[in-house]
């Protein structure tokens, strides 16, 4: 079966490591490529970014060197919005459309006003820790570890600012399918999730998964099942279209 590169964007405060397990759990034809953002992990020495469009342009320029054949993007929360902007930046550079976009755990680009309320100004350490507690994805012993928090909070503060200051830009719709995943107990409403379908002329799907904001970890096996099924279908469609183009032109 043809190989498919799947570039994965992390959520606020996280590094590319959050997707490392997926490489072992998915078949070989899915080439999982976690993307590291500046200021964390292997890019710890680089400055943190708070401008979504600038970061998307930077990552798109880096990706152009790595894309080799069919590719898809997956992003959770901040990562979903960033993946969406990367695809637009790639298109502006003349790169062909991805096989699909997976937008997980966040409101659509046109539904950010209520979702990001209060995120446009820097939050204090106490406010950030309270946000982490509300999201239910960080163990209490981590929240109580001052050394760990001193490393995490600056990244989280920058990422929250990037989300809060995001400005939607009206552009022609994408052409790839958009698959949206939402947590049944997460704060993103179905209306905010369904609005993702406005961003592409391609197919749209919405799957609601049990769990809160970090359902991608709480119900990882179901997320990976959906990812594999939908990517196989999209890759098959992409290859058929490409084959028809070569034979019909």
Q: Is 119 helix (H, G, I), strand (E, B) or coil?
A: coil
Q: E-assigned strands of 64-147?
A: 71-76, 101-104
**Computed from CA positions of residues 18, 24, 26, 29, in that sequence, does the dihedral angle turn out positive or negative?**
positive
Interhelix angle 52-64/146-164, nearest 10 degrees: 100
Instruction: Report the phi/psi class of residue 247: left, alpha or beta, with left for phi > 0 and alpha for psi in -120 to 50.
Output: alpha
Query: 77 an active-site residue?
Result: yes
Residue 61: partners with Cβ closer than 8 Å, 6 or more residues away: 89, 93
Question: Which among 197, 237, 216 is positioned nearest to 101, based on CA atoms?
Answer: 197
C-alpha span between 148 and 211 (Å, rounded):
26
For 123, 129, 154, 226, the CA distances from 63, given in Å and listed in that order, are 31, 33, 26, 25
Q: Please tell me the total number of residues recorded for the chain in this structure.
A: 249
Catalytic residue among 15, 57, 77, 104: 77
| Residues that are catalytic | 77
């Amino acid at each position: 079966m043809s190989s498919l590169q799947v570039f994965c964007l992390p959520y606020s405060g996280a590094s590319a490591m959050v997707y490392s397990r997926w490489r072992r759990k998915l078949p070989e034809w899915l080439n999982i490529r976690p993307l590291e953002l500046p200021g964390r992990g292997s890019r710890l020495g680089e400055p943190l970014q708070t401008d979504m469009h600038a970061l998307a342009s930077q990552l798109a320029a880096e990706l152009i060197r790595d894309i080799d054949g069919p590719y898809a993007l997956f992003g959770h929360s901040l990562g979903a919005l960033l993946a969406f902007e990367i695809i637009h930046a790639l298109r502006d550079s003349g790169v062909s459309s991805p096989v699909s976009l997976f937008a997980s755990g966040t409101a659509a680009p046109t539904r950010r006003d209520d979702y990001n309320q209060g995120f446009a100004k820097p939050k204090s350490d106490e406010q950030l820790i309270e946000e982490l507690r509300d999201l239910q994805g960080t163990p209490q012993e981590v929240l109580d570890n001052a050394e760990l928090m001193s490393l995490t909070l600056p990244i989280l503060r920058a990422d929250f600012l990037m989300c809060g200051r995001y400005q939607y830009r009206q552009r022609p719709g994408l052409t790839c399918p958009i698959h949206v995943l939402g947590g049944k107990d997460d704060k993103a409403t179905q209306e905010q999730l369904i609005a993702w379908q406005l961003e592409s002329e391609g197919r749209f799907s919405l799957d609601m998964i049990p769990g809160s904001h970090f359902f991608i970890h709480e119900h990882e096996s179901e997320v990976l099942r959906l990812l594999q099924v939908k990517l196989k279908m999209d890759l098959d469609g992409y290859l058929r279209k490409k084959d028809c183009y070569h034979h019909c032109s």
